[in-house]
């Protein structure tokens, strides 16, 4: 604590959770955040002014929870990640000829879409153009695009058809930064170059928003080297909304969007958010990278995002021909099997106000609390600080009743089997009259840190 920080101020800090890392302790439970009145206070206010129907447009996405990210482009030929052009400093003239070698199998997108659907994912977001500048769509702005190079096909069109055929929502990733366009970097310092480049980018976004029917998500990336003013991001989004009134847009063009995008980590924030993550350590295909996340990690990440009120966008990096690396297929299949048994604890779940337990995470739908046990405790699991008694509880995997009691503030599941009945995470659904709130630890930690009781 810095000198002069009053005890009251410190308590206020603790109450926001900000001081807990310093105190070496888990943040105490706070009052539930999403309650009536929050909208008036602006906690969940639409971040875009126009069009104003953020709540309406976000509805399907909040239900969906789980999406597939696809990083695919010329870099997939080299197999050293999607930043290879920059990392290895490959000159444009040496990189460009890759466009003559890119010959994906027809039907690859349909395989991804099936894989996504079977994994329990509800939407997909594919790189229509990554930082390398190669357009997977047909465009009038450049010859450096799939239709005019080796593929000879509109790969974005094929992707859109495949995603729709599997009943999923369609998302487009689009990199603002462009390492191929001659003005892509010059635009930072050269006004004429900036005008040309902005026209190029805005035209491409217009093409993407015009030529493929209804698009559900626009996922910008990399506002470098300009700022929102330089990109004319506000005008860009206004154009997008005129063409696609129901679309949702992320926040990576330098202005707030419909949702925020924590990358490679899970971090709850105000408003809607989506954690995007890789399956190994790379977004683009990288066969040397064998650091695959086990299905259990993917599943617990999805549960944690859901618990904290966000979505999970999980990436695959297909090979140049479109094939998904085998480990990725195996992981997603196994996630899908778990989702078949437990998906109802994920889809449409709201942020859970119960979220502290050893070895378990939580999701919630109204008064139904799903306890996702990832480290099996044996026959008894105790959850502290729960303010009300449940009506009953069941194992999701079998429908079998679970003995549950409410003792003081403890919720105790007992007579559980010795071994976990589901794999890799077992879910118990407990029904309450209304959503319970958890308030464990707070009093004890304040006592421990300050050596006294909480101030009034």
* Chain residues in the site for ligand GLC (CB under 6 A): 71, 82-83, 221-222, 263, 276, 283
Task: State which residue, 154 or 274, has the beta carbon closest to ligand GLC.
Answer: 274
> To the nearest whole angstrom, how small is the minimum distance from the Cβ of residue 220 to ligand GLC?
10
DSSP secondary structure of 43-62: TT--S-SSS--HHHHHHHHH
Strands 66-70 and 123-129: parallel
**Least CB distance to ligand GLC at residue 331 (A):** 19
DSSP-assigned letter for residue 373:
E
- Closer to ligand GLC by Cβ: residue 99 or 276: 276
Minimum distance, C-beta of residue 94 to ligand GLC, in the bound complex (Å): 20
Nearest to ligand GLC of 217, 339 (CB atom): 217
Q: How far is the CB of 397 from ligand GLC (least distance, A)?
A: 34
84, 292 contact by CB (below 8 A): no
We find the least distance from the C-beta atom of residue 89 to ligand GLC, in angstroms, to be 16
d(CA 307, CA 394): 19
Of the two residues 57 and 71, which places its CB atom closer to ligand GLC in the complex? 71
Smallest distance from ligand GLC to CB 317, Å: 10
Instruction: Name the residue among 278, 243, 240, 231 with its Cα closest to residue 258.
Output: 240
Alpha carbons 53 and 36: distance in angstroms, whole number? 18
| CB closer to ligand GLC, 216 vs 274 | 274
- Shortest distance, CB of residue 252 to ligand GLC, whole angstroms? 8
Q: Strands of 360-365's sheet, edge to edge? A: 360-365, 368-373, 426-432, 390-395, 401-407, 410-414, 381-383
Cα 413 from Cα 359, distance rounded (Å):
14
Tokens coding 134: 């190669």
**Residue 333 and residue 157: Cα distance in Å, rounded?**
26
Tell me which H or E stretch contains 410: strand 410-414
Quote the CA–CA distance of 32 and 232 in Å, as a whole number.
38
Q: For ligand GLC, which is the closer residue by CB, 71 or 181?
A: 71
> Which one, 301 or 352, has the nearer CB to ligand GLC?
301
CB of 79 to ligand GLC, least distance (A): 15
Cα dihedral 110→325→118→122 (10° resolution): -70
Cβ-based nearer residue to ligand GLC, 127 or 440: 127
Q: Compute the Cα dihedral for 27, 31, 34, 39 and give only its sign.
A: negative
Whether residue 207 contacts residue 240, with contact meaning beta carbons closer than 8 Å, is answered with no
CB nearer ligand GLC, residue 173 or residue 353:
173
DSSP of 68-112: EEE--STHHHHTS-TTHHHHTT--HHHHGGGGGT--PPTTHHHHH
24 class by beta-carbon count within 10 Å (0-12 exposed, 13-18 middle, 19+ buried): exposed
Q: How far is the CB of 350 from ligand GLC (least distance, A)?
A: 26
């Amino acid at each position: 604590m810095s000198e002069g920080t009053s005890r009251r101020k410190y308590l206020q800090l603790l109450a926001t959770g900000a001081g807990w890392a310093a105190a070496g302790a888990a943040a105490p439970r706070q009052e539930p955040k999403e309650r009536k009145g929050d909208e008036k206070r602006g906690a969940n206010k639409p971040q875009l002014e126009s069009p104003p129907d953020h709540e309406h447009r976000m509805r399907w996405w909040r239900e969906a929870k789980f999406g597939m990210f696809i990083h695919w482009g010329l870099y997939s030929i080299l197999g050293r990640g999607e930043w290879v052009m920059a990392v290895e400093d490959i000159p444009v003239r040496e990189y460009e000829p890759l466009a003559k070698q890119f010959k994906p199998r027809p039907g690859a997108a349909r395989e991804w879409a099936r894989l996504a659907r079977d994994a329990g994912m509800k939407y997909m977001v594919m790189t229509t153009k990554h930082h390398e500048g190669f357009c997977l769509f047909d465009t009038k702005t450049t010859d450096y695009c799939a239709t005019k190079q080796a593929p000879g096909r509109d790969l974005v069109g094929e992707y859109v058809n495949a995603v729709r055929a599997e009943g999923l929502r369609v998302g487009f990733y689009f990199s603002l930064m462009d390492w191929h366009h001659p003005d892509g970097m010059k635009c930072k310092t050269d006004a004429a170059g900036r005008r040309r480049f902005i026209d190029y980018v805005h035209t491409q976004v217009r093409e993407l928003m015009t030529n493929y029917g209804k698009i559900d998500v626009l996922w910008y990336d990399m506002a470098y080297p300009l700022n929102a003013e330089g990109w004319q991001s506000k005008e860009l989004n206004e154009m997008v909304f005129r063409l696609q009134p129901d679309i949702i847009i992320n926040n990576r063009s330098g202005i707030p969007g419909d949702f925020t995008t924590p990358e490679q980590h899970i971090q709850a924030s105000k408003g809607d958010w989506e954690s995007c993550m890789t399956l190994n350590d790379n977004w683009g295909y990288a066969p040397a990278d064998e650091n695959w996340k086990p299905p259990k990690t993917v599943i617990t990440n999805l549960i944690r995002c859901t618990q904290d009120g966000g979505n999970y966008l999980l990436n695959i990096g297909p090979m140049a021909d479109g094939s998904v690396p085998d480990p990725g297929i195996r992981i997603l299949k196994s996630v899908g099997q778990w989702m078949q048994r437990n998906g109802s604890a994920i889809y449409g779940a709201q942020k859970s106000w119960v979220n502290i337990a050893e070895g378990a995470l939580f999701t919630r739908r109204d008064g139904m609390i799903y306890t996702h046990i990832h480290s099996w405790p044996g026959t008894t699991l105790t959850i502290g600080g729960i303010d009300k008694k449940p009506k009953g509880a069941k194992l999701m995997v079998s429908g079998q009743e679970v003995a549950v009691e409410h003792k003081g503030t403890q919720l105790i599941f007992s007579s559980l089997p010795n071994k976990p009945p589901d794999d890799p995470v077992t879910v118990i659904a407990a029904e309450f009259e209304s959503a319970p709130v958890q308030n464990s630890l707070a009093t004890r930690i304040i006592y421990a840190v300050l050596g006294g009781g909480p101030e009034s």
